[in-house]
């Protein structure tokens, strides 16, 4: 029996005041990238990436509040949600996510790319922008911006690699991961990251995160790749990130949750913000909420983002709409 996830987002919205939603699959060499396409499908959308161990449904409460004039392509990153896991023996390195953005740009033949991301998705979007400043027409970062730096980078990377091999060995055993009741799943979702996800909104992340247990009827296992539990390898220096930020000329929107930590020295984060502000097109907002402010209380955030888009979304979007092969057969346009 299919569990009741209380998810109100269907393939096609029945509310005329909300954008339509299509479940999509984009082919990649190791399988597919899954996601949801919100709003107009006949023109280039804004590409959206979620945070670490989340999925594209974390935007379920924000995107219905956005303008219907532009589409939003929210994807599940590799190993997350319904997207394919990477092959055995490989690591979920942040470079892989940067390659993925370029792969999507090439697939759609986008002349430019508009980027929005939360946490890991924000860091990935920022890195792509400083590496390809001429290709990004604007950047929206939600409670995340720069990759973390570490004074103990050598020791940290050594521990990370060791932990990765442990999870890889567990995965290779091909045994079912621990199973939980739906209530236990909700509690786990809402207690992670210091209670970042409100319990009443945790169901938005659950449908793409779990699958029914094969061994324990009525219980569920997390479907995401266990190798994702290993944090990213630290390989970015502040001495490179600040000059990189100064290369950015596109408009930038940054929302920092007041109730969320910086996960590193605040000054290190703000030094990059200051470098972005030198272009004159950087907005930095401190907003009430936790790390998942876009899921828990999206209303104020939505108004600020819409204002930002009205001001800066000026590029041509006529090229790069949806492709028929992306839509599951039963949901063809």
Catalytic residue, from 20, 58, 83, 119: name it.
Answer: 119
Which residues, including other chains, have CB under 8 Å from residue 245's CB and lie 6 or more apart?
130, 146, 272, 275, 276
13 assigned to active site: no
Residues 118, 212: Cα–Cα separation, whole Å = 28
Retrieve residue 202's tokens: 């945790």
State the helix-helix crossing angle for 120-131 and 94-108, rounded to 10 degrees: 70
Residues 296, 226: Cα–Cα separation, whole Å = 26
Residues 281, 9: Cα–Cα separation, whole Å = 34
| Positions marked catalytic | 119
């Amino acid at each position: 029996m299919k569990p009741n996830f209380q998810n109100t987002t269907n393939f096609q919205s029945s509310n005329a005041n909300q954008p339509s939603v299509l479940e999509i699959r984009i082919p990649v060499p190791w399988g597919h990238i899954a996601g949801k396409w919100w709003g107009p499908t006949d023109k280039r959308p804004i590409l959206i990436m979620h945070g670490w161990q989340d999925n594209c449904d974390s935007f379920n409460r924000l995107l219905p509040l956005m303008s219907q004039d532009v589409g939003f392509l929210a994807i599940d990153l590799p190993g997350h949600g319904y997207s394919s896991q990477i092959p055995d023996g490989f690591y979920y390195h942040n470079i892989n996510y940067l390659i993925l953005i370029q792969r999507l740009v090439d697939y759609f033949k986008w002349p430019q790319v508009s980027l929005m991301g939360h946490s890991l998705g924000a860091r990935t979007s920022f890195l792509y922008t400083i590496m390809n400043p001429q290709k990004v027409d604007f950047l929206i970062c939600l409670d995340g911006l720069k990759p973390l730096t570490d004074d103990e980078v050598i020791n940290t990377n050594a521990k990370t690699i060791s932990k990765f091999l442990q999870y890889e060995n567990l995965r290779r055993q091909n045994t079912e991961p621990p199973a939980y009741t739906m209530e236990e799943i909700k509690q786990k979702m809402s207690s992670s990251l210091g209670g970042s996800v409100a319990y009443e909104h945790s169901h938005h992340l659950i449908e793409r995160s779990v699958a029914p247990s094969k061994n324990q009827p009525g219980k569920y296992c997390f479907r995401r790749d266990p190798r994702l539990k290993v944090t990213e390898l630290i390989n970015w220096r502040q001495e490179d990130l600040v000059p990189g930020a100064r290369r950015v000329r596109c408009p930038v929107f940054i929302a920092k949750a007041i109730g969320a930590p910086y996960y590193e020295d605040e000054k290190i984060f703000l030094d990059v913000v200051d470098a972005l502000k030198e272009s004159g097109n950087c907005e930095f907002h401190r907003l009430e909420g936790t790390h998942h402010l876009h899921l828990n209380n999206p209303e104020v955030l939505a108004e600020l983002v819409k204002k930002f888009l009205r001001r800066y979304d000026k590029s041509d979007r006529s090229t790069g709409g949806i492709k028929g092969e992306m839509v599951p057969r039963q949901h063809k346009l």
